[in-house]
DNA sequence: TTGTAATTATACATACTGTATGATTAATAT
DNA sequence: ATATTAATCATACAGTATGTATAATTACAA
């Protein structure tokens, strides 16, 4: 089991690359199992064999994009036991980098997720994991700055979740705004979100 | 030309109601021209006659929802020449009411819009009109509070546009948060957005 | 060498979109 | 009252999509 796995990996990668390219075309109706197969120079049946269904293929594509967008960095953000506010800033930066890494494709995948429950399930799970991350940070934060009342905690978490979402990033990035600016706008607002509930943390 | 227009109006309303109901079903794949026609007790051909295409039907559905969501109120917000900050608050409330008026359907329509350019075009036009509204308010605001530098104006407009978007509302409303709370969270952040660029306006 | 995983070929059932052609019903105009 | 026209419907067709079934083929692995 070696050469074989490599071959399979290459086939899957070729398919996922083709799928991503077709996902970005203006005319999304051009995205079909048949078209992806043709572009990847693979039989349509191979797609079903490897990914089960269209939803399965798109799920795998999201994973693919997450890997390419360096989402592993997220683990490090939590490992370093630094200032919770710094953690929050790093957290925002990691996600902004991810969202920016393949904006068009992610936008389409999110659109599909809100329509097809099969695809939506995977994204929902991701969102819950994201929420857990936010919660962990806020928890640490409220230990250092106890002024954050527990009644406000839920609001703060939801607000940060919203501010670090793809949709927020996408709206702020617009057609040309540079990413560091977007990150600092988001950081500003997250800072405000945790700040207005208690004392100013800086 | 009277009785006839009434009949057509009734037919269209019945179709749009059926379309909205099917749009809300978990399994969105059940949404098809055929299914809508069946549910509205109308021939499939009538749908094409009345709405041209699937995209046309969904466009009309968005209009339908906008009417039901009392979006006409928006005009009044601008007519009253009151304090720009009050205008902003009213503006936020009108949109929150609209987003809340048919959250599930709007979520699906926005999902479809990010996939199908035919549908997306209509929503993009709406967003541009929404942006114009924000711009007008910010313009009025910066006349009263000149501390808002023109360099920041673009950022402020984009931020408000983001904060008043459906996606922001949807994220903050979550599964159960009461709407007045959502509105005041958004107002808080919009206030911060216009405030941090210049002097505090209140 | 034998078994097995991966890919492919062909075919089929089912469903949807959009269009064409023409019939039918009912309101409107003259 | 009759002719006209708008709205609806029936049938049919072309094109394309998904997903599954069956079986053949290729190439790696035990």
Pull the structure tokens for residue B133: 């509204």
Q: Where are the domains of chain A?
A: 3-51, 69-195
According to the model, what pLDDT value does residue A1 have?
56
CATH code for the part of the protein at A69-195: 1.10.357
Distances (CA, A) of A122 to A89, A110, A114, B150: 26, 11, 11, 43
Q: Is the CB of A160 under 7 A from strand C?
A: no
Burial of A143 (0-12, 13-18, 19+ CB in 10 A): exposed
Across the interface, of B110, B114, B168, the residue whose CB is closest to A108 is: B114
> Is B3-51's fold the same as B70-195's?
no
According to the model, what pLDDT value does residue B1 have?
56
Q: Which of chain B's residues have a Cβ under 8 Å away from the Cβ of A26?
A: 117
Q: Which nucleotide is nearest to B1 (CA to C1')?
A: C28
Phi, psi (degrees; rounded to nearest 5) at B41: 55, 55
Distances (CA, A) of B195 to A154, B85, B103, B147, B160: 25, 11, 30, 9, 12
pLDDT per position as a tens digit, B114-160 = 988 888 999 999 999 999 999 999 999 888 887 787 788 999 999 99
Nearest-angstrom CA–CA distance, A57 and A46: 11
> Which top CATH class is B70-195?
mainly alpha
B107-118: average pLDDT: 92
pLDDT per position as a tens digit, A129-160 = 999 999 999 999 888 887 787 778 999 999 99
Which of A142, A136, A63 has the alpha carbon at shortest distance from A105?
A63
Interface test with A, best of B171, B174, B196 (most A CBs within 10 A): B171
Given 3.40.50.150, 1.10.357.10, 1.10.10.60, 3.40.630.30, which CATH number is that of B3-51?
1.10.10.60
């Amino acid at each position: 089991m070696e050469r074989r796995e490599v071959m399979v990996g290459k086939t899957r990668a070729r398919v996922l690359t083709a799928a991503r390219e077709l996902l970005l075309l203006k005319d999304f109706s051009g995205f079909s199992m048949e078209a992806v197969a043709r572009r990847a120079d693979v039989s349509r049946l191979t797609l079903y064999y490897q990914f089960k269904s269209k939803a399965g293929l798109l799920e795998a594509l999201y994973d693919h994009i997450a890997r390419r967008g360096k989402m592993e960095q997220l683990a490090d953000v939590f490992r370093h036991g630094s200032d919770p506010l710094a953690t929050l800033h790093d957290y925002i930066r990691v996600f902004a980098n991810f969202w920016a890494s393949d904006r068009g494709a992610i936008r389409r995948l999110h659109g599909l997720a809100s329509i097809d429950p099969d695809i939506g399930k995977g994204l929902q799970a991701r969102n819950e994991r994201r929420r857990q991350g936010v919660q962990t940070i806020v928890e640490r934060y409220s230990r250092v700055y106890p002024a954050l009342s527990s009644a406000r905690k839920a609001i703060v978490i939801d607000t940060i979740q919203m501010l670090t979402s793809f949709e927020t990033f996408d709206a702020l990035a617009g057609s040309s705004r540079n990413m560091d600016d977007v990150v600092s706008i988001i950081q500003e607002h997250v800072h405000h979100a945790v700040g207005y509930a208690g004392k100013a943390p800086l």
